[in-house]
Chain A
């Protein structure tokens, strides 16, 4: 059967689509995670906390689906990556899942009882549910850039030499903290849009300035690691970009500094890190001048830029291996079959616009700031 798009094109489209999904996750659920991580620090009284929780109350659940869909899309488009990374980062995944399991129940159960202890318990669960995933996602991104110690045997079974503690190196910690500052800034910007003016907003702004400043530093330090550290991989021979998805058929090598190759080859890719920096600056200017929309636009741009930087640096690599460079997973060797990529693209083209339309409608219905006075009159609020 002749398909409309050739295999290599579809592989690149899916690389871009997975990137877009991750960015959509960071832009939407990212502020939910940020708000969760900020909750105990920006809101002190029960009323303030309820007001903060209700800024995301009606929409966090839909936002979280970007994460679930990210998992499903990686499974469908890059089965190798799904199989190798989630079993390789096993205990880290368990940490993230536990935190993300706590989050939905915390939102729902917190308001079901009036006791201060009960509520404070779930508040801290919300904090864990925001902070831990933000940190671990960043650490995971760092490990993706640095490469993971796995090997594939001739039946494509993956073996993994690493441990949970091995995931934490200076570079991956920088990546983890960058992710936390990025989402905290984004969460604070969201509170600027949706929380009522008052002490909560002021506290959030103060934290945002610290997070933004740290973010700029961490992003720059991460860049130095990538430019001058021992990271990077290259193809050693000609690669058949339309070939069967079999990592073991083309040689790859570790090549320190190779993550800078794309910027030399395609200078426009430097837009991604530039956006990461400029976004933070715009967010802070917006915060300073109390232009909430500008601040939120800035934090969104920076999150998109930072995530795109990972993709731009690594392309075509997705998950390189430090144990056996030839097992490294790339856009050309780790995808699903031509037909599956094509069918899934069709489904995405149909359903993604629908999702955007009804999500926009829900946000429109829920438009307006969360206030402490609304808590007294509306029994539906958390």
Chain B
């Protein structure tokens, strides 16, 4: 049997390393494009202040970027380390986007990022701008390929199980690329990154304004952040809604869970704004509903019902029963690869094999499952409803707050009221919010995918490596200590850089030249 402690620890480790990685990635995604905007203004106007602005935010970008890269190294290898069976089972499809990410995107950003920092004196301004743009392009393409990989886990299109190799294999690569879930996720995720970067720039600039320091620098930075942030926060919410729509075809269960919608919602489906979902009673107490809205989001209509958890569990139960048949035929093929009859029968039910595998959590051989175990497995397809319900509300709530924040910032900047005290304080206080939203967004996406590693294909508990509990604790403790220490150093360096201010470099340079001046004079 699978050691469930190993599975849980592997999940914990993946969650820790992925959530930690995503503290740095979104800032990289957004700040890189903001650097492109700032540097473009410099190249067009040739005013030195914009060069200072670009270089200062570039310094902060650099401190953050290395931790994104460093923690990304772990991500590339831990599928093989902790999720060995998953890697075998779907590597034929899942490995490709990761490799293409390296070829097309990560090489681009990593090769040019060195030149971005070291090339200021070696390149003409427009050439340097090109380099900065390549970094931004690389980081964002990188996100594209990673989300194509992740999107496939949520909606595994373009692949089929091959009984000869005991794994999923690609049948239609274009379907993997143009997976609607992946596309929606990509725009939603990078927009979230742009919001995070905008809040960061806005907040740091607000600190300078409140202290009455570097006002010229801060006002210009604020203006860029306000415009970029408003566009991004609108996009993140609207395109987030687009991922809600995409869900209806392939991840109805996720939607039902985040809505805590136990029963099918007849048309026009209403949206539960708030309530207290109870796992035990399988109902949501004190619901407050907004009519029509859910139908509009989920089905783009007011005349279609939205499936509830109970109905979806019943569907799962049917699929599990067919999955047992698929499992049975697969065993026959394994015993005799030339058994064409079994192959024919397997073809008919192969899409339900994953549901048959779900039973492995409850019984060694799915063919021996009792009706009670099948029912238990069917209920096991429901993700953790309260976690989903509240994660969604925190994420979406902050999303709307961000629109409010940036709309206000945009109006104030347009009216040249950069020094509005209450707003500056608000901008500083708002700094952690989009990070919280982004992390909850991932919790929502990945907890919502449970119990599947790959929706309908491979249950998470089957994906883990054959490791031992002490091995996992060793790496969890190791990564936590290492990551924790680096987080402290990183935040310290960012604070230090902010304290020094954008003109520190020029001040140093001026000091240095003053010291040198008499010597040069003497030599002359």
Closest A residue to B98 using CB positions:
A72
Could you list some 9 contacts between A and B, CB below 8 A? A58-B117, A75-B79, A80-B88, A108-B62, A108-B66, A344-B99, A351-B103, A366-B115, A378-B121
CB distance from A358 to the nearest CB of B (A): 6
CA distance A75 to B76 in the complex (A): 9
Contact partner of A68 (CB less than 8 A), chosen from B73, B81, B113, is: B73
CB distance from A210 to the nearest CB of B (A): 31
A90 at the interface (CB under 8 A from B): yes
Known: A109-B489, A156-B167. A79 touches B114 (CB 8 A): no
Contact partner of B101 (CB less than 8 A), chosen from A72, A84, A94, A108, is: A72
Q: Which of B74, B94, B110, B171 has the most CB of A within 10 A?
A: B110
The residues of A with any CB-CB pair to B shorter than 8 Å are 57-62, 64-65, 67-69, 71-73, 75-77, 79-80, 82-87, 90-91, 93-94, 97-98, 100-105, 107-109, 112-113, 154-160, 244-246, 249, 336-337, 339-340, 343-344, 347-348, 351-352, 355, 358-359, 362, 365-366, 376, 378-381
What mask results when residues 93 to 120 of chain B are scored 1 for a CB within 8 Å of chain A, else 0? 1111011111110111011111101111
Closest B residue to A118 using CB positions:
B489
Residues of chain B within 8 A (CB-CB) of A157 are 84-85, 88, 466
Closest A residue to B102 using CB positions:
A69
Known: A86-B84, A108-B62. A76 touches B117 (CB 8 A): no
Are B110 and A65 in contact, CB atoms less than 8 angstroms apart?
Answer: yes
CA distance A61 to B70 in the complex (A): 10
Known: A72-B76, A75-B80. A156 touches B95 (CB 8 A): no
Residues of chain A within 8 A (CB-CB) of B466 are 87, 157-160
CB distance from A329 to the nearest CB of B (A): 11
Residues of chain B within 8 A (CB-CB) of A60 are 114
CA distance A109 to B486 in the complex (A): 10
Residues of chain A within 8 A (CB-CB) of B475 are 90-91, 94
Residues of chain B within 8 A (CB-CB) of A337 are 92, 162, 165, 169-170
B474 at the interface (CB under 8 A from A): yes
CA distance A347 to B165 in the complex (A): 24
Count B-side interface residues using an 8 Å CB cutoff. 81
What mask results when residues 121 to 155 of chain B are scored 1 for a CB within 8 Å of chain A, else 0? 11100000000001000000000000000000000
B45-95 CB contacts (< 8 Å) to partner A: 62-63, 66-67, 69-74, 76-77, 79-82, 84-85, 87-89, 91-95
Are A73 and B111 in contact, CB atoms less than 8 angstroms apart?
Answer: no
Residues of chain B within 8 A (CB-CB) of A155 are 166
CB distance from B523 to the nearest CB of A (A): 15
CB distance from B406 to the nearest CB of A (A): 30
Q: Which of B84, B87, B162 has the most CB of A within 10 A?
A: B84
Are B118 and A65 in contact, CB atoms less than 8 angstroms apart?
Answer: no
Known: A101-B71, A337-B170. A68 touches B489 (CB 8 A): no
Are A105 and B489 in contact, CB atoms less than 8 angstroms apart?
Answer: yes
CA distance A59 to B113 in the complex (A): 9
Residues of chain A within 8 A (CB-CB) of B169 are 336-337, 339-340
Residues of chain A within 8 A (CB-CB) of B103 are 69, 72, 347-348, 351-352, 355
CA distance A257 to B154 in the complex (A): 48
Are B478 and A94 in contact, CB atoms less than 8 angstroms apart?
Answer: yes
CB distance from B448 to the nearest CB of A (A): 25
Contact partner of B106 (CB less than 8 A), chosen from A69, A75, A154, A343, is: A69
B211 at the interface (CB under 8 A from A): no
B16-43 CB contacts (< 8 Å) to partner A: none
CB distance from A55 to the nearest CB of B (A): 12
Residues of chain A within 8 A (CB-CB) of B167 are 79, 156
